[in-house]
Structure 1
Amino acid sequence: MDNSNPNYVKWFRNAAPYINAHRGKTVVLMFCGDAVRHPNFANIIHDIALMHSLGMKLVVVHGARPQIEERIVQRGIERKIANSVRITDAETLVAVKDAIGSLRLHIEALLTMGLVNSPMHGSQIRVSTGNFIIAKPVGVKDGIDFKYTGSVRRVDTHGINTQLDFGSIVLLSPIGYSTTGEVFNLALEDVATQTAIALNADKLITFSKDDGIIDLQGELIRSCSVRTIKTLLDDQGDHIRQLLLRAIIKAGENGVERCHCVNYQSDTALLQELFTPDGAGTLIAKDHREQIATATIDDVVGILELIQPLEAEGILVKRSRELLELEINRFIVLKKEEMIIACAALYLYPQEKSAELACVVIHPDYRKGNRGQRLINAVFQLAKEQSIENVFVLTTVSGMWFQEQGFIESTIDALPEGKKQLYNYQRNSKILVKSIK
């Protein structure tokens, strides 16, 4: 890319808020064995090095299913699977150790690379591996002894955090150790999710052969809640896909605020997902007891109760019940146990690809936390779906708050023609605009 190009400079400036937001955050990255052996994996390693240089605390967890399968075939070992889980006998365990050991060395070598004129030059990354995962045997299920197949018993969070604070990238393999000195073959998804949960990680990033999570119609889901992911579970579907979905659900239900799913075949997806507004894959947010939804006629009374105190103070333009009923489909509401605690409205001007954000109200008892930002993000997503490029707001007292959300003060010339004609000069509202392209 030509760094004299103004678009490059603009992109770099726009990335700054995301860089600041991610600095110091703990991120667990989960790679399946297919991702590691894909030709694009070296590019992903370069991006991991960049993430590390930007101050992110990284735990990389790799899988090895196809590599283990190759070793089993090469050694002529009988492949034993029960309920979609590998039975790891002593002979198979040797193949597991061989495959995982080779992969670990390969990833460490890529993270150590620092050739001049390469993206890794000057990175000086320390990689820490070790017995951070304490395991236990799966045992006997339905009469089947799974032998050296295990599950995560405990994650050494103190040891991992010590290495992260020291500036190292922690590399974990799908293998664990028991207190009796045994080695167990573990599932990638178990190691990654249990580690993310134990560390109280800010993000779990997963990688897929697809662009992200695909819905039942074959379309990419840009963002959703854990609840939506649950609707995609199908025991008859692709086994690897189901494991990925279950990992995201488990992480989201146990404290991980954000999960991402991106394509391991794309050499730009990871950075796009983290450092651009639209991302490149799927963002999955932890479910909240407070739910955002499009308002219905049943919400009119709750919205009126919320906005009337501000109307009485002259902060909001008064809306009659009849008008609110007519415009109810333009409102987004945030509910807590059926009580409306926040609302916002979106008025479209499609010809100018513009929209007005109006009637943004949060109940006084719920103004702490990020409820306002969650509500605004939901409105922006709705606007993008309608091909809107700019959102404006008129306000008399909340200009600073909107500026904190990325709005920039402007003039009446920034308004669509239809809104210019309705502008109330007596109220003298400030005009703030934000681009959401």
Structure 2
Amino acid sequence: MLDILLLRKDLSSAIARLQTRKNPQPFLDVQAFQALESERKQLQTRTEELQAQRNQLSKQIGQLMGQGDRAGAEAAKAQVAALKGELDGSAARLEQIQDALQAMLVAVPNLPHESVPLGQDEAGNVEVRRWGQPRAFDFAVRDHVDLGAPLGLDFDLGTKLTGSRFTVMRGPVARLHRALAAFMLDVQTAEHGYTECYVPYIVNADSLKGTGQLPKFEGDLFAAKKGGQEGEPVPDDAQLYLIPTSEVPLTNIVRGEVLQEAQLPLRLTAHTPCFRSEAGSYGRDTRGMIRQHQFDKVEMVQIVHPDKSYAALEEMTGHAEAILQRLELPYRVVNLCTGDMGFGAAKTYDLEVWLPAQGTYREISSVSNCEAFQARRMQARFKNAQGKNEFVHTLNGSGLAVGRTLVAVLENYQNSDGSVTVPEVLRPYLGGLDVLRA
């Protein structure tokens, strides 16, 4: 959530930055905001005047009683009572205004950092660097669907059990999927200093509000309602949701907390399934594992001092890159433009891995600095060197998406006979196995 003081101080500049995301910006009703702000200022000014009058009358009552002027004192008391009625009305209206302003702010995305390139969509993204050389094949390349089927990758069974965009893995491909997740966790914890966490796969609405998925993106979530006792209604606060990513529970660990500066940075990681309805993606990536309703990720989250969040963004991007480099998978790093960034991000790098069957790079990780946007929603703070409470900065990224990494390994390491060579770093996780065969 944006700092409302920023909007009050320089609304036009904030709107100009929002318009780099989408022009005209549909996120904030400027006229309604200005009308509420004008009324708020008038009410606060009037409230201060009434409070001053009440304080003055209270002093007069004491003086009049001391002088024996009971009639004058009673008249002053009547005036105080009348002021109380107006003050109570003003307080109630101010609360309504604050609620309305809050409802406006939760729908407004983060402001792009000055280093983010301007652009309307993915065409405006800027490539930062590439690593690795795509392999030259001397046989017809197969995609992961054809390669995976003999190894136990079954899309038809996923559809039978649940529906479209669900997958079943058995045998060799299931082992490879598990090996990838274990390898990623080992690198992130043992080499990059993250603490491994096991978190709930179902969270409450407050957690999703904290990281920005609610209320704006409820259509992208899978809702799960807790059951009440027989014959009893289910309370409203029982609404739960499957996690779209473990960013949600990991980041919300600090919701409502005041950390000590010495506790920063916090580096947290978790391997979880992720659940997304993929609203608005009808007809996109319908073949294979690229866009699933259920998929696994190893997530990285950092909670850092505000002065260090952009250094942390570069560091986390490197942590994700390390996985691809160890697997010897060609990739590129892209700086997302203003029109292609996620709702809560101030700056995002995408990592895109080379997929031979598609002949292009596809996203396998996004690493974002949200600055204080999520922290303000969560009221996550730390006590700074001056002893004052200050919002932390939060960052998140995939290290990596396990299913898409599986796709990349199958396609990049395929052999002419349909077998798949196991990347060297994964062999210890597969009991020394060096080739996957049907």
Question: Which is richer in helix?
Answer: 2
The TM-score normalised by the length of structure 2 is: 0.24
Q: Whose RCO is larger (CA < 8 A, sep 6+)?
A: 2
TM-score if structure 1 supplies the norm length? 0.24
Mark the structure with the bigger radius of gyration.
2
